[in-house]
Amino acid sequence: MGGISLPALNAASIIGGGSLVVFAQQGGNSADQIGSASSYRPPQWSSPAMTMLTIPAQYVQSIQAPQQVAAPVYNAQGSQISAQVTAPPNAVPTYLVFDGVMHISHSQQMVATEHPVQNSANLSDHIRASQAIVSMDVLMTDVLPAYASGMWSGNASKSVACFQTLDSLRLNRIPLTVTTRLKTYYPMFIMNVTPDETVKTRYGFRGRIEFKQLNLFSVASQNVSSRSQSLDSNTIGQTNPTPVPAGITAQNGLTASEQNFLMQSQGDIAGSGDWSSNNTGQLPLAVQ
């Protein structure tokens, strides 16, 4: 990182022929050197942030291990469900503020139903609001300290820590509160993080974050019914066979053995009373 040193000259002497002396420093972490040499903070950082992300307290631990996807949870029936996350004792939400927000795009589209009828007419009987989509272009730099202590930790480079944190929130599907100057959205999920790496981002982060508002639901793990009958089993069904009419056997020329094959004896029906999704192992017997 280069540093510029100006001699003790006034503006007139500089314009009239004063010299500029440039010193180049090699090695070391430029962010640490500049951060330790200056305590400069942008003046707007003394005010509440207009744009920030809020991580609920029960999900704070998810950002401590970047790029780790939570293991799926299954109920007794084998269906995948969402894990119940509880906040640890004395847990508080975590707030994330970017060094700069260059552009924010809000999309809140309304969708109308379409029912085409004769003569190419199109009728609509309902209109609903789609999930909000927010795109945000942000900047991070290693030169300035974080907006508040504890933000963007986990890497010596604040810009790298910013990307790792956002990527971890995306992979772990963490519901966030996105606060902007115009509106606050919840629950928002990070759908994509697109960083741009150029020669100008050697000590910084420039990229786009895409959020989408989603309502996720988990599958119920117990059987719920207003009836008193059990949902898992039922009484075994009984057969009530009747002989094949003589006219049908005569018309088709069936032999006595073929007629006996068609005649069923009274008894239980294989697999009767079980859920169709259960493997009873009796299907071959039922179709013989």
Structure tokens at 161: 């820590």
89-93, 102-106, 224-228, 255-259: the lowest-pLDDT one: 224-228
Express each pLDDT in 66-124 by its tens digit: 444 444 544 444 554 444 556 666 778 899 999 999 999 999 999 998 888 887 788 88
- 188-212 average pLDDT score: 94
Query: Domain 49-116+123-213's class?
Result: mainly beta
Quote the Cα angle for 59-62-68, to 5°.
150
CB 56 within 8 Å of CB 186: no
pLDDT of residue 95: 92
Domain boundaries of the chain, sorted by first residue: 1-38, 49-116+123-213, 237-272
Question: What's the pLDDT band for 38 if we cut at 50, 70, 90?
Answer: low
Model confidence at 12: pLDDT above 60: no
Question: What's the pLDDT band for 272 if we cut at 50, 70, 90?
Answer: low
Model confidence at 266: pLDDT above 90: no
pLDDT of residue 256: 73
Q: Quickly count helices (H) and strands (E) in the chain.
A: 6, 15
Model confidence at 42: pLDDT above 50: yes
Report d(CA 72, CA 62) in Å as an integer.
14
CA proximity to 142, closest of 127, 155, 129: 155
DSSP state of 155: S
CB 212 within 8 Å of CB 146: no
CB 136 within 8 Å of CB 149: no
DSSP state of 238: B
CA proximity to 214, closest of 236, 193, 185: 185
Express each pLDDT in 156-173 by its tens digit: 899 999 999 999 999 999
CA proximity to 85, closest of 224, 216, 223: 216
Q: Is pLDDT larger for residue 96 or for residue 229?
A: 96
- 36-62 average pLDDT score: 79
Beta strands in the chain (DSSP E): 2-5, 21-24, 52-55, 73-74, 80-81, 94-96, 100-107, 110-112, 115-116, 122-123, 127-129, 133-141, 176-179, 184-195, 204-213
Q: Is pLDDT larger for residue 5 or for residue 98?
A: 98
- 6-20 average pLDDT score: 41
Distances (CA, A) of 40 to 33, 37, 46, 70, 144: 13, 9, 12, 39, 7
Report d(CA 70, CA 117) in Å as an integer.
48
Spell 152-186 as b/e; 16+ CB within 10 A means b. bebeebbbbbbbbbbbbbbebebbbbbbeeeeebe
Phi/psi region, residue 161 (left: phi>0; alpha: psi -120 to 50; beta: rest), is alpha
Q: Which of 53-57, 69-73, 117-121, 279-283 has the highest mean pLDDT?
A: 53-57
Q: Percent of the chain beyond pLDDT 70? A: 58
**Considering just the CA atoms, what is the radius of gyration of the chain in Å?**
35
Question: What's the pLDDT band for 194 if we cut at 50, 70, 90?
Answer: very high
Structure tokens at 170: 């995306």
7-21, 200-214, 248-262: the lowest-pLDDT one: 7-21
pLDDT of residue 131: 92
